[in-house]
Structure 1
Amino acid sequence: MPKVAIPGSKSITARALFLAAAAKGTTTLRRPLFSDDTEGFVEGLTTLGYAVERDGDDLHVKGSPEGPTGVASVFCRDGATTARFLPALSASGHGQFSFDASNQMRKRPMSPLLDALGRLGASITVGAQTGHHPFTINTDGLEGGEIELDAGISSQFLTALLLVGPLTRKGLDIRVTDLVSRPYVDMTLSMMADFGINVVRDGDHFRVPSGTYESRTYRVEPDASSSSYFFAAAALLGVEVHVEGLGTESLQGDLRFVDVLKKMGANVHLDRSRATVSSSGHLQGVEVNMRDISDTMPTLAALAPFAKTPTLITDVFNTRVKECDRLEACAVNLSRMGIKVETGRDWLRILPGLPKAVEVETFGDHRIAMAFSITGLKSNGVMSFDDPGCVKKTFPTFFTTLEDFVTAVRTAY
């Protein structure tokens, strides 16, 4: 019964870094994720003047509730949390802060957040393309007050405002007109409470009080999205896998991917601190709305050809504006493997079949690379990848971890 060591949650690490930077005192983060995305976030914090020190598997962050001051230029790399959370944090400070990002991140939308920060008192100067990186924020703190927000493309816009809300002079009263990936908002609210700020929520109406976050020691749980590949591998190969540190008390909505596997015929058991998935290897297709767990959509798409019946994935339009158009990337790769697929604006239908080995076009997207690695475990031939290094974004050791998992499976079974 193989156990897999999954690195820390990217989503929790990013939120914890923001909260630690905004808190009074020094916060210690236990076993956060160390990857290109989180290193970019730490680099951004350092550029803004925050003190961050690595100590083995931990990080120590000295907070500043007053926000950053002076002049700084932050390069956000490919990281969406860096590119969306740090501008909100900088707007709470006093000075001029410029932001730019990779060509990949420059294509991703920023308008809902930038418009909101502008309405709250920051002055935003945009670059060549309105609503995208690069841009500059001139600020003397945020006043706060009432605001309406569309978070139908990304919940990160809402999370950024929720996180910065206590740093405003009046607090925030946020009414959300559309919202995707709701579990990530639940995660944000829970973590804010852990750092001393309680948000009043009434449906999609959020009241965030002005206040001060308190520093603490905070343990980061393993990444549920990264775990999905090994859960899928167990279901595909007809074996059992354990992931320690994920269970019924997890903050991460993407752990609900195991419910999808259960519908496909896998066995799932969760206790407080461990998730177990096992399978006979015989899977049924499913029809599933993945709006709230869309980061695991490529995992299901990569697994679906091996089911006995078709799989229909719905309500995932927001995956078209991730690191790549993930809906299209899945369809393109599956088609090249000889699998029949049908797509629409926000859905993907996948018919059963034996995928033939091809060179997977990752589109520079870590989730496409990791998901179709699972397809390769039972494809007809040896699967290869045009850019295997893209996994460094969230899971630098993915391929060695997968190799160790396969070796453990061969030993155990």
Structure 2
Amino acid sequence: MFCRDGAPTARFLPALVAAGQGVFHFDASAQMRRRPLGPLTRALRELGVDLIHTGQEGHHPLTVRANGIKGGHITLDAGLSSQFLTALLLVGPLTREGLQITVTDLVSAPYVEITLAMMRRFGVEVRRAGDTFFVPSQPYTASRYAIEPDASTASYPLAAAALTGNSVTIPGLGSGSLQGDVRFAEVLGRMGAAVEMTSDSVTVTGNGRLHGLTVNMRGISDTVPTLAAIAPFADGPVRIENVYNTRIKECDRLEACAENLRRLGVPVSTGRDWIEIHPAKPSAAEIACHGDHRIAMSFSVTGLLTPGITLDEPGCVKKICGRCGSPRT
């Protein structure tokens, strides 16, 4: 299987096939090969899975010689990606004895809540005690399942409304949403936009002004580039904190945001897990997308108020959405 740029595909399926029988070979794009896989594959090996990395250890490509998974207790570091935990949670019911997963660190926790809620809808109740998840061994059962709109992608039109003084409503996302990234609307509210949220919709209305703020975005880190792209228009500094994991996405998103803001003439500074952007009127420039759809989409919002912004790689937005499987076009 060639996983291209799809991180969920590249991380979930090696765990899934390990519960089956046969030999499975996985590879991915150069971009995905650079992204870490080690915490997941170490956990699978602890469970007795015959797995080898045929290139760099802890990265694609890899080969799984599957003969089912007995189950048992493992310790997992999910501080780089919640997808490592999701992969193990999803395969847990297919093990012979179930899984007990103790997590030492966890980023993007709202995505794990999506996984647990989905598993519940398909008949599997995962019990959690502190940092340990208990996954029973039992079959999934068929169910009708409504898929929400992608809240991360919704951040672009919501940011555009806040930036330009317009109003945008996203149906299907609201206070009842399972996705943590719907909270990006709350960030826009702190910046001065009017936010109205019902159980199944969110509306953001801008007034042409944005305020600076300091915000911890560890739980909604996919929306960091969106906020960075509109930050120059705020009336004070915008500081985004606790987002180290954005450095190991499709690209180093903290550095990519800083690079492009500097291209636009915007003062910016960064640290290991933070970026701070100061108010400035952006100038026309070419955006370096680094093959990352989120960089392209985010700085396209900047372009709404900055004539002359171009993208060096607009085709990168054709990436397949890791959560719903549809192309981002």
Partner deviation per Cα, 1:152-181 (whole Å, 9 max, x = no partner): 000000000000000001100000000000
- 3-state SS of paired residue (1:176): strand
Correspondence 1:68-87 to 2 at 5 A: 74-87=1-14
Correspondence 1:198-277 to 2 at 5 A: 198-277=125-204
- 3-state SS of paired residue (1:268): strand
TM, length-normalised to structure 2: 0.97
Question: Which one of 233, 244, 252 corresponds to residue 317 of structure 1?
Answer: 244
Partner deviation per Cα, 1:252-279 (whole Å, 9 max, x = no partner): 0000001100110111111121110002
User: Unaligned 5+ residue runs, structure 2?
Assistant: none
Identity %: 60
Matched, 1:389 2:312: no
Cα distance in 1 for partners of 2:190, 2:199 equals: 22
- 3-state SS of paired residue (1:97): strand
Matched, 1:141 2:68: yes
- 3-state SS of paired residue (2:173): coil
- Could you say which residue in structure 2 is the equivalent of 1:59? none
User: Any runs of at least 4 consecutive aligned residues in structure 1 with deviations exceeding 4 A, and if so which?
Assistant: 395-398
User: Unaligned 5+ residue runs, structure 1?
Assistant: 1-73, 399-413
Letter in 1 for 2:218: R
Please tell me the root mean square deviation across aligned C-alpha atoms, in Å. Answer: 0.9
- Could you say which residue in structure 2 is the equivalent of 1:373? 300
- Displacement, 1:203? 2.2
Letter in 2 for 1:143: K
Partner deviation per Cα, 1:29-82 (whole Å, 9 max, x = no partner): xxxxxxxxxxxxxxxxxxxxxxxxxxxxxxxxxxxxxxxxxxxxx111100000
- Displacement, 1:218? 1.5
Cα distance in 2 for partners of 1:217, 1:259 equals: 30
Query: Bigger shift: 144-153 or 114-123?
Result: 114-123
Cα distance in 1 for partners of 2:280, 2:53 equals: 48
Q: Does the aligned pair in 2 maintain the 1:121–1:141 contact within 8 Å?
A: no
Letter in 2 for 1:131: G
Cα distance in 1 for partners of 2:314, 2:41 equals: 33
Cα distance in 2 for partners of 1:397, 1:249 equals: 24
Letter in 2 for 1:160: A
Question: Which one of 363, 369, 379 corresponds to residue 290 of structure 2?
Answer: 363
Query: Bigger shift: 299-308 or 244-253?
Result: 244-253
- Could you say which residue in structure 1 is the equivalent of 2:221? 294
- 3-state SS of paired residue (1:217): coil
Matched, 1:168 2:95: yes
- 3-state SS of paired residue (1:226): helix
- 3-state SS of paired residue (1:219): coil
Letter in 2 for 1:173: Q
Cα distance in 2 for partners of 1:301, 1:204 equals: 32
Cα distance in 2 for partners of 1:196, 1:121 equals: 26
Question: Which one of 37, 43, 46 corresponds to residue 116 of structure 1?
Answer: 43
- Could you say which residue in structure 2 is the equivalent of 1:402? none
Letter in 1 for 2:177: S
TM, length-normalised to structure 1: 0.77
The number of equivalent residue pairs is 324
Question: Which one of 230, 247, 251 corresponds to residue 303 of structure 1?
Answer: 230
- 3-state SS of paired residue (1:218): coil
- 3-state SS of paired residue (2:103): strand
- Displacement, 1:396? 4.6
Letter in 1 for 2:318: K
Higher relative contact order (CA 8 A, sep 6+): 1
- Could you say which residue in structure 2 is the equivalent of 1:184? 111
- Could you say which residue in structure 2 is the equivalent of 1:61? none
- 3-state SS of paired residue (2:105): strand
Cα distance in 2 for partners of 1:234, 1:203 equals: 39
- Displacement, 1:135? 0.8
- Displacement, 1:372? 0.3
